[in-house]
Amino acid sequence: MKVTAAVFESVGKPMTVEELDLEDPKEGEVLVKLAASGLCHSDYHVVKGEWSSEGPVVLGHEGAGVVEKVGPGVTNVAVGDHVVLSWVPYCGVCTYCNSGRPALCPKVVETAYQNVMFDGTSRLSRDGQAVPSYLATGAFADHVVVRESSAIPVRKDAPLDKAALVGCAVATGVGAVINTAGVQPGDTVLVIGCGGVGLSVIMGATLVSAGQIIAVDVNEGSLERARSLGATAVINPRQTDLAEAVRELVGEAGVDWAFEAIGLKPTIETAYELIRPGGTAVVVGQAAEGVTIEIDPMVMSDREKSLIGSNYGSCHPAVDFPRLVDLYMQGKLDLDRLVGRTVSIHDINESFAAMGKGDGGRTVITY
């Protein structure tokens, strides 16, 4: 079948929206007609050349839609199901999958991280030449073929343009608070970076009744959105000294938890600096290739400060995605405020340019 997709060729070259050929789903795969896709900073890393990914490739990994066809052997997804895409096509049988940590499944490294399906190929092609789907998802298209474990059924009364955000930003941010960190009621929380993921961290902290929730960003629009989603204080580090402002709010010791949601060396180091003795800094943001950080190990051991990572909010998509959608429908997660703008696939280049300027809110493509 023919599908409309945005194709990335190389850094510095605009993506082109064109028709590609899409094969039917094979063993264990499903065909999904997408209703919406979200623009994520992980895609932007490729666009900017901070992550290597040779073109042509269809980017995008955050989306939701309706199942149109299933391949042989598919048992957990049926035609007509409303699904949220997950970019972790886990195997379901390894130690990590069985312990509820599918994002660490070796199959994810072998397939999604190589932009291929389980058989090592892609279902997309152009003039007979294969076109990989980014993270084995390729959500900047009106139809996708994904692994069954990457199509998570959710309730049919949820709007798909909001449910799409659960597939990356919301699962990553809310999951970092609940699954990775286990923030407790009354804990103090610092969130550095208020894009889609950082705002989702704030929603997660609000959901578990954290105490002070301090949002940090250089974009005033992002800070306003953070406050509307539950931040109790906001700080623009271009206008005030960040460390001083945080300590005025929580005391000299620092915060219980600091979530870094950008992926930059200085902000990761700052997050670690601003946690109290016994506190934890959580790296949620994805850094560019080759970035390293400097941490004083004496301070780490002497003050029992922890620095941990969180991949995909340590979530189990089959369990967490339906719950997150339910929380939205119950009014406990305000995904409507998370959306900054809704655009057409033809506006994708302009939308990434806006992302580069730090404009707040998630951009959603609808089909």
The answer to whether 194 is a known catalytic residue is: no
Contact 235, 209 (CB under 8 A): no
User: Choosing from 42, 133, 149, 314, which is the catalytic residue?
Assistant: 42
Q: Which member of 45, 82, 143, 316 is catalytic?
A: 45
315 is catalytic: no
Scanning the structure block, which residue is given the tokens 């208020």? 194
* Rounded Cα gap, residues 325 and 245, in angstroms: 35
Q: Phi and psi dihedrals of 308, rounded to 5?
A: -130, 160
- Torsion on CA atoms 309, 135, 334, 318, rounded to nearest 10: -80
- Please tell me which residue in 91, 97, 105, 168 is annotated as part of the active site: 168
How many Å apart are CA 148 and CA 314, to the nearest integer? 20
Residue 41 annotated as catalytic = no
Whole-number Cα distances in Å, 75 to 144, 153, 178, 196, 340: 18, 12, 30, 33, 36
Handedness of CA 310, 236, 276, 174 (dihedral sign): negative
d(CA 29, CA 207): 34
Instruction: Spot the catalytic one: 40, 97, 105, 194.
Output: 40
Does residue 143 carry a catalytic annotation? no
- Out of 61, 82, 143, 316, the active site residue is 61
Enzyme catalytic residues: 40, 42, 45, 61, 168
